[in-house]
Amino acid sequence: MPKVTDIANELKQAIDAKDEVQIAFIASEYSAESREKIAKAYVASYGKELPDDIKKALKGGSEESLLMDLFSDRHEVRAQHIRDALSGRNDHMAFFDTIIFCTPEDWHETAAAYTRMFKKPLVEDFMKDVGRKEDWCLLMEKWMAHERASRPGSPEDEAQRLDQAFDQKNAAYLIDFFGTVPSAEYRPIAEVFKAQNGKSIEQAIATIYTKTDYYTFYCAHFALLGMHRLAAYLINCACNDKGDEKRMRRITGMMVDKCLGAKHAYKIYGDMGADIERCFDKRMAPILRTLWRVK
């Protein structure tokens, strides 16, 4: 990695030139942790916060917000997104993008940031707002605990128990299973489940759940298979007719460096670069393609 002061200088030149794609390109070269160091070097060199200079130079919109997010404290960014998604509106899609689509390490830092910013415990505030009447709320609560433990049975045994839970519509078992199974154990269970039953777990989810319940379990399933798999699914959801810029800002700004494999996982839906080009305008599309490293 070049000296952070040199990278900060490159960014200053790109910002002064109002070159959004070049800013995105520089961001795409580094991890979130490295970008935080670059942002600090920028302040040391120019006496201004990097996101503030981006905001001053660019012309608003989700593009500006995304580029600002990339050089901001990602835990505070996630905490703010969650707070915005609550606020009486309960933006379920934002919950998927920020809560399920999050590593355990990032989650603990996000919870601390949320308490620091809003003077409330995150999980308690979330559950108070959404309640505990629906299965998706209870799965979210389990998920946010990030307390995973090895399953007692073999993949064959666990797949059989899971199939029984779907057949019996045993919500308590399903919530506990998806909320506590380790990712490394889930993958072989999913493979055996499909071999034993002739259907995938995502197909089984669709037999008993609809709407928000369905999407919450569906996202949990992909997250357990690998965050790059969930990234691909969420990006595909965001690539609707007009392109959901708010979702792409959340998905990309917080996790792009951890999920670059999404472009390969996306192949089951089509060509990620082509979908981004089709769904987003001539300002946003090049930024997204640059960050996700797709043509």
pLDDT of residue 80: 97
Q: Which of 183, 238, 245, 177 is nearest to 205 (CA)?
A: 177
Q: What is the pLDDT of residue 123?
A: 98
Q: In this predicted structure, what is the pLDDT of residue 70? A: 98
In this prediction, residue 88 carries a pLDDT of 66
Flag residues of the chain having pLDDT under 70: 1, 88
Class of domain 155-225 (CATH, top level): mainly alpha
Q: What is the pLDDT of residue 258?
A: 97
Domain 155-225 in the same topology as domain 4-70: yes
Residues 6+ apart with CB under 8 A from 166: 174, 204, 205, 207, 208
Give the model confidence (pLDDT) of 49-97 as tens digits.
999 999 999 989 999 999 999 999 999 999 999 999 997 677 999 999 9
Taking only the tens place, the pLDDT of each residue in 243-258 is 999 999 999 999 999 9
- Residue 1, pLDDT score: 67
What value, to the nearest 5°, has the Cα angle with vertex 179 and ends 178 and 180? 95
Question: How far apart, in whole angstroms, are the C-alpha atoms of residue 216 and residue 219?
Answer: 5
Token duo for residue 91: 């933006």
pLDDT in tens, 112-124: 999 999 999 999 9
- The pLDDT assigned to 240 comes to 83
Q: Which CATH class is domain 4-70?
A: mainly alpha
* Domain ranges, ordered by start, for the chain: 4-70, 155-225
Contact 248, 235 (CB under 8 A): yes
